[in-house]
A and B are shown apart, each in its own frame.
Chain A
Amino acid sequence: MSDTSFDAAARIGQPWKKPPFVQRRWLRLLLIGGFLAYLVAAYMTIDVNWSRVYEGLERGKKFVLAFMAPDFTTRSTDIWEGMIESIVMTVASSVVGIAISIPIALGAARNVAPLPVYLICRSIIAISRALQEIIVAILLVAIFGFGPLAGFLTLSFATIGFLSKLLAEDIESMDKVQAEAIKASGARWTQWINYGVQPQVMPRLIGLSIYRIDINFRESAILGLVGAGGIGATLNTAFDRYEYDTAAAILLVIILIVMALEYLSGVVRARVQ
Chain B
Amino acid sequence: MPIRNEKGLKIWHRRTGRESLSHWVLWLIGVAIFGYCWQQISNTTTWFFVWDAPRIANDIWMRATPPKWSYIAQLGKPIWDTLNIATLGTIISLFLAVPVAFLAARNTTPSALFIRPIALLIIVSTRSINSLIWALLLIAIIGPGVFAGVIAIAIRSIGFCAKLLYEAIEEINETQVEAITATGASRWQVMAYGIVPQIMPAFAGIAVFRWDINIRESTVLGLVGAGGIGLQLSSSLNVLAWPQVSLILLVILAAVVISEWVSAKVRGAII
Contact = CB atoms under 8 A, between A and B. Distances in A.
Nearest to B146: A46
A43 interface: yes
Chain A interface helix/strand/loop/mixed: helix
Interface in B139-183: 140-143, 145-147, 150
Contacts of B98: none
A65 interface: no
B44 A229 contact: yes
A49 interface: yes
Nearest to A43: B88
Contacts of B129: 218, 221, 251, 254-255
Nearest to A152: B41
Interface in A26-43: 38-39, 42-43
A45 B146 contact: yes
Given A42-B84, A132-B220, A145-B46, A239 B137 contact: yes
Contact of B87 (A42, A85, A147, A221): A42
Contact of A59 (B45, B80, B140): B140
A89 interface: yes
B137 A247 contact: yes
Contact of A130 (B46, B133, B256): B256
Nearest to A139: B60
A46 B150 contact: yes
A239 B136 contact: yes
Given A143-B60, A251-B129, A56 B81 contact: no
Interface string A36-67: 00110011011111001100110110010000
Interface centre among A46, A47, A53, A138 (most CB of B within 10 A): A46
Interface bin, chain B: 35 or more
B49 A144 contact: yes
B141 A45 contact: no
Contacts of B216: 132
Contacts of A255: 124-125, 128-129
Given A45-B80, A254-B128, A92 B41 contact: yes
Given A132-B220, A147-B45, A222-B132, A53 B124 contact: no
A235 B58 CA distance: 33
Interface centre among A47, A132, A152, A259 (most CB of B within 10 A): A132
Given A142-B56, A147-B44, A132 B143 contact: no
Interface stretch (B16-24, B30-38, B104-112): B30-38
Contacts of A245: none
A210 interface: no
Interface string B25-66: 000000001101110111011100110010011001000000
B143 A147 contact: no
Contact of A48 (B40, B147, B249, B257): B147
A262 B60 contact: no
Interface of A: 18, 38-39, 42-43, 45-49, 52-53, 56-57, 59-60, 63, 84-85, 87-89, 91-92, 95, 130-132, 134-135, 138-139, 142-145, 147-149, 152, 218-219, 221-222, 225-226, 229, 232, 235-236, 239, 242, 247, 251, 254-255, 258-259, 262
Closest 3 CB pairs of A and B: A145-B49, A258-B128, A42-B84
20 contacts: A46-B84, A47-B147, A49-B145, A52-B142, A53-B142, A88-B40, A89-B41, A92-B34, A130-B253, A134-B132, A134-B223, A143-B60, A144-B49, A145-B50, A148-B44, A152-B41, A218-B128, A222-B132, A225-B132, A242-B140
